Amino acid sequence: MTEPLRIDPGDRTADEIVDALEGGRRILVTVEMLGRPHEISLRYDGEWFYCDTPTRLHKHRTATEMRECVRKMGYGE
């Protein structure tokens, strides 16, 4: 299995993030929550896109929905 791509918010565009997910990469985004760093896992299983946060699992059916989530949450531009 390929090592996950580790990024900080804003390192990549939303399009770059979704392209990497569609290419089979898992992405770990390091964000600060409650004054401490946490990792958000972004992945794609071929059917669903997932945003797995410490408090919630978001699922998105399409690449467009995933791009919107990535932009809304500030993970990518």
> What is d(CA 28, CA 16) in angstroms, rounded to the nearest whole number?
14
How many independent structural domains does the chain possess? 1
Classified as helix, coil or strand, 12 is: coil
What is the domain extent for residue 60?
5-73
> What is d(CA 38, CA 9) in angstroms, rounded to the nearest whole number?
12
Above 80 in pLDDT, residue 1? no
This prediction's pTM? 0.92
Q: Quick check: 59 and 48 in contact, CB under 8 A?
A: yes
pLDDT in tens, 34-64: 889 999 999 999 999 999 988 899 999 999 9
Q: What percent of the chain has pLDDT over 70?
A: 99
Higher pLDDT, 32 or 50: 50
Task: Tell me the C-alpha to C-alpha distance, in Å, between residue 45 and each of 27, 37, 57.
Answer: 13, 26, 14
